[in-house]
Amino acid sequence: MKRYILIFVFFISTYSFSQTPVIDLLNNDGFSTANAYYKDVNNLLDPFEGTYIYSDITTNTSFKVVLVKKTLQFNGRYYEDIIIGEYQYIENGVEKANTLNELTLNYSNPNRHNIVGNVLINDNNYRRAKCDDCIPNEIRLLLTINDDLSQRYAFLILRGTTDLAGQEIIKIKIANISRSFSDNPNLSLDFVLPFTELTLIKQ
C-alpha cells in the first residue's frame, strides 16, 4: 500500500511541474509559448478576487461583479493563471444582464466565462488605460468582458485601492467595445453594460 501511495505522490508531483517553461505573468511579452505555464508567481492577481458592487439608489442602478482566481488553466495552447468572473447589471430598476449563475460552471476552455483575463499593467504606457492617480509601478488588471445580448466584447480595466474610510474598492472602466460578430438579426446592436468609469465596493 505504501508503494502505491509513493507512486501516486510522484505522479502528482511530476504532473504539477510538467508544464515548461514557467513564465511570470508580469513578464509576459504577449507571444504565447505552447505548453508553457504563465504563472502568477507573486500572487498579483489575488487582491482582485472578490465580490464588488456599484450602487446608485437615486436611479436604482447597480453593477455587481464577482471575480475568482483560477490556476493552471489550459486554454488549448498553454497553461495560465487567470481571473474569471460574471456579473449582474440593473439599470433604472430593470435587470439588463445577469450571468452570475455561470460562475460555478467548469468550462473546458475558461475563456468562455463572461469576464476573463490576466494582463497585469504596471506602468502608464497603455493608452487605453491611462491613470492620472496611479503611483509608479502600481499594478492594475486588464480583462475582457462579454455582453451576451449584443455578443460584443470590451476591455475591463480594474484598479484596486481603498476609499477615504479605508474600504476596499475597485475602480473599473469598460473601453474599446468591439462590433458584434454574430449574424443573428435578433441580437441587440447596443452594448448593454455601462461603459463609464465606476467605483465598486468590495463586499
| Residue 8 cell numbers, joined | 501516486
DSSP class of residue 17 equals: T
The reported pLDDT for the residue numbered 115 is: 98
* 68, part of any domain: yes
Q: Which is nearest to 117 in space by CA: 51, 70, 163, 55?
A: 70
Spatial separation of the C-alpha atoms in residues 95 and 77, rounded to whole Å: 37
Q: Which pTM was predicted?
A: 0.85
pLDDT band, residue 149 (cuts 50/70/90): confident
* 39, part of any domain: no
Spatial separation of the C-alpha atoms in residues 113 and 61, rounded to whole Å: 23
* 28, part of any domain: no
* 36, part of any domain: no
| Residue of higher predicted confidence among 183 and 108 | 108
Query: What's the average model confidence in pLDDT over 69-86?
Result: 95
Spatial separation of the C-alpha atoms in residues 142 and 136, rounded to whole Å: 17
* 33, part of any domain: no
The reported pLDDT for the residue numbered 15 is: 46
* 15, part of any domain: no
Tally of structural domains, the chain: 1
**Residues contacting 64, CB < 8 A, separation 6+:** 51, 52, 53, 54, 87, 88, 89, 100
* 17, part of any domain: no
* 171, part of any domain: yes
Domain around 115 = 44-202
Query: Residue 101, by phi and psi: left (phi above 0), alpha (psi -120 to 50) or beta?
Result: alpha
Spatial separation of the C-alpha atoms in residues 134 and 154, rounded to whole Å: 22
Query: What's the average model confidence in pLDDT over 11-26?
Result: 68
The reported pLDDT for the residue numbered 37 is: 97
Contact 158, 115 (CB under 8 A): no
Q: How large is the C-alpha radius of gyration of the chain?
A: 19
| Residue of higher predicted confidence among 190 and 171 | 171
pLDDT band, residue 122 (cuts 50/70/90): confident
The reported pLDDT for the residue numbered 11 is: 42
Amino acid at 38: Y
